[in-house]
């Protein structure tokens, strides 16, 4: 049986392609992305993670079973841990934690993260999980794609560690867990009448995720 994620991705094929093959992504893959663009992305991604931590906190609130609450809590803990790792990673790129804290959210960051939170507040756990999916699952697909396409050329790529992190076993497992979670939640709370709304949520989140790549590109111009 086809997963909910695959149904959503097929329904939004052009938007998904624009997101996963964006110029920012291609630049990561071949190492030509201006480093100023990547540094700006790192700053915005820190602010992005803070809002996604709130989204996982909302997932706990929206849970109707203790198992759902545990999964939401695990997701929140993972995001909070990732913020610590992100701070350390940014330091390797010459960005101090104080600089991250002082950075203002770009319009694209605000648009995407608040859209996710709005869908979670207005809808149920399924709506929230679908809104999160382009980020959670998309990064795994992008990491795997870039690692596969660039192979040995990654050795000299300044973004090698980023690519390998999202292509790695740990993140791949996390993305697969989100795919399974979508199917479980759909089985518990879904129905044929919900698909149009879920597809629209996924479509908008994918478009906003693609626009998030633009923040770094605009900063480097």
Q: Is 82 an annotated catalytic residue? A: no
Which one is catalytic: 15, 68, 141, 209? 209
Q: How many CB atoms lie within 10 A of CB 207?
A: 19
Residue 183 and residue 195: Cα distance in Å, rounded? 13
- Secondary structure class of 33 (helix, strand, coil): coil
Nearest Cα residue to 167 out of 183, 149, 153, 180 = 149
Pair of tokens at residue 52: 């996604």
Residue 162 and residue 153: Cα distance in Å, rounded? 14
Q: Is 180 an annotated catalytic residue? A: no
191: left (phi over 0), alpha (psi -120 to 50) or beta: left
Nearest Cα residue to 25 out of 133, 144, 115, 125 = 144
Rg (CA), the chain: 17
Pair of tokens at residue 94: 């010459």
Which one is catalytic: 135, 180, 200, 214? 135
Residues identified as active-site: 135, 209
């Amino acid at each position: 049986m086809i997963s909910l994620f695959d149904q959503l991705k097929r329904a939004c094929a052009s938007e998904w392609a624009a997101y996963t093959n964006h110029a920012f992504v291609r630049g990561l893959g071949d190492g030509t992305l201006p480093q100023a663009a990547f540094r700006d992305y790192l700053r915005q991604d820190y602010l992005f993670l803070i809002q996604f931590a709130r989204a996982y906190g909302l997932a706990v609130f929206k849970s109707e079973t203790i198992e759902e609450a545990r999964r939401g809590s695990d997701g929140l803990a993972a995001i909070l841990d990732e913020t610590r790792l992100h701070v350390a990673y940014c330091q390797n790129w010459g960005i101090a934690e104080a600089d991250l804290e002082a950075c203002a959210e770009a319009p694209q960051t605000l648009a995407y993260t608040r859209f996710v939170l709005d869908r979670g507040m207005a809808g149920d756990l399924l709506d929230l999980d679908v809104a999160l999916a382009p980020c959670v699952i998309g990064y795994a697909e992008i990491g795997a794609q870039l690692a596969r396409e660039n192979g040995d050329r990654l050795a000299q790529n300044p973004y090698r560690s980023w690519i390998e992190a999202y292509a790695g076993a740990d993140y791949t497992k996390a993305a697969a867990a989100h795919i399974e979670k979508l199917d479980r939640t759909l089985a518990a709370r879904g129905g044929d009448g919900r698909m149009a709304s879920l597809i629209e949520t996924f479509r908008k989140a994918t478009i906003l995720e693609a626009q998030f790549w633009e923040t770094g590109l605009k900063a480097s111009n």
